[in-house]
Amino acid sequence: MRVLMFGWEFPPHISGGLGTACYGLTRGLLQNMVDLIFVVPKAFGDEDTSRFKLISAANTIVKNESTYTDILSEQFVSYGINSLVVPYHTADEFQRYTEEYQSSSTTREDVFAPAKYSFTGQYGRNLMSEVWDYAKVAAEIAINNQFDIIHTHDWLAFPAGIIAKALTGKPLIAHIHATEYDRSGENINEEVFEIEKMGLDAADKIIAVSEYTKAILVNKYKVPWDKVVVIYNAIEELPEIIERKPPEKVMKEKIITYLGRVTYQKGPEYFVEAASKILSHNDNYRFVMAGSGDMLNRMIKKVAELRISSHFHFTGFLKGSDVNKMLSMSDVYVMPSVSEPFGISPLEALRADVPVVISKQSGVREVLGNTIALDFWDTDAMANAIHALAQYKGLSKMFLRNGKIQLKKLKWENQAQKVKDLYESLV
């Protein structure tokens, strides 16, 4: 069986959990003897592609642009509006991508010549334009490759999947890692919502990463309940983490870590408030916010206003070995998300022998039943939980032991088998 898979990022070039999940699922599918063609807007050349085919949209020539434009017009009420959709970047990164967009040309000198589009592969100022260009490239790829099923990851790839299905008639799976309601609350971007809705409607089956996400799809997007299959994310076993030797801590204080995008969805302000409450009673703590996002400057200002800057650290975005190093120095990991479809980072923390505190508004809670889970807004409870895990070794060890038992059940090979079973039900 061969799968044509459309995603927006692939390790080592990632902005968060989406790329990590795509990588894990890809490896799991390969272990289950599934042949893959994975398409990204832009490949950088250092991706691990030893066992599957990775296609860069930026290197693909589109020979039938006008035809694909017509098909997109038929499939979507409107498209091509260059909306300001920058969900993952800081103000400085936004400025950089804006300048790149203004200095680069995304049009061809000869409109009748075959098209070759430019992609940043990021989430910059021209994101929406890239989404539609990606769909045109997807059409070219679809008619020039043999495959049995189409698998798309999140709204960015939905137009690509829809046009590929329209041209080939192959079954389409929409894999939902996050919805616009997760990212923005009730103040949603209507254009993104419409693309999500059309992708969900066009899909033959939908994979949700949790029951929490499935409920959102049914209630907010009016998706039939039986159209959605819940398949949880997983985590890889990494010997360098399992057999780790913790580095010598430079600081004597307990280190409490937040690891994720600094955006509304992730609830960074609640982490800061909990930190302030703990430090008002005990200064034997240091808090680390590892990540970037549109709320970063606001959080830095909030920390200063609360006069806790001497015990608070901002590292910026971390990935790969830097994530592992940060976790290895941590005493407690906190995920205070306002709305988290799944949440791989708590699994990474448990894998690194770090006890976790998670919000009840998360999908990962469904697979980590013996973990401290609380409402994201209850910063008193969050502060108490952090303090208890950091100070009482017996309590910390109990939660770690229970968490590790649950962790062993979540292997990408097992979850990928469930995805393969879904493929086979549609082919």
pLDDT tens digits for range 134-186:
999 999 999 999 999 999 999 999 999 999 999 999 999 999 999 999 998 88
The rounded distance, in Å, linking the Cα atoms of 325 and 351 is 13
- Domain spans in the chain, listed from the N-terminal domain onward: 2-234+412-426, 239-407
∠ CA 358-315-124, rounded to 5°: 90
Mean pLDDT of 277-301: 95
**Which architecture, in CATH terms, is 239-407?**
3-Layer(aba) Sandwich (3.40)
Residue 243, classified by CB atoms within 10 Å of its CB into exposed (0-12), middle (13-18) or buried (19+), is: exposed
CB atoms within 10 A of CB 72: 20
What's the distance, Cα to Cα, between the start and end of the chain in Å?
9
CA atoms within 13 A on the CB side of 298: 11
Q: Could you tell me the pTM of the whole model?
A: 0.87
Query: Residue 106's pLDDT band (boundaries 50, 70, 90)?
Result: very low
Structure tokens at 27: 């490896």
Residue-level pLDDT at 370: 84
The rounded distance, in Å, linking the Cα atoms of 389 and 395 is 6
* Lowest model confidence (mean pLDDT) among 11-25, 175-189, 397-411: 11-25
**What pLDDT, in 10s, does the model give residues 319-372?**
878 888 999 999 999 999 999 999 999 999 999 999 999 999 999 999 998 899
Query: Residue 112's pLDDT band (boundaries 50, 70, 90)?
Result: very low
In a 3-state reduction of DSSP, which class is residue 63?
coil
CATH top-level class of 2-234+412-426 = alpha beta
Cis, peptide link before residue 12, omega less than 30° from 0:
yes
Let me know if the fold of 2-234+412-426 is the same as that of 239-407. yes
Mean pLDDT of 273-293: 96
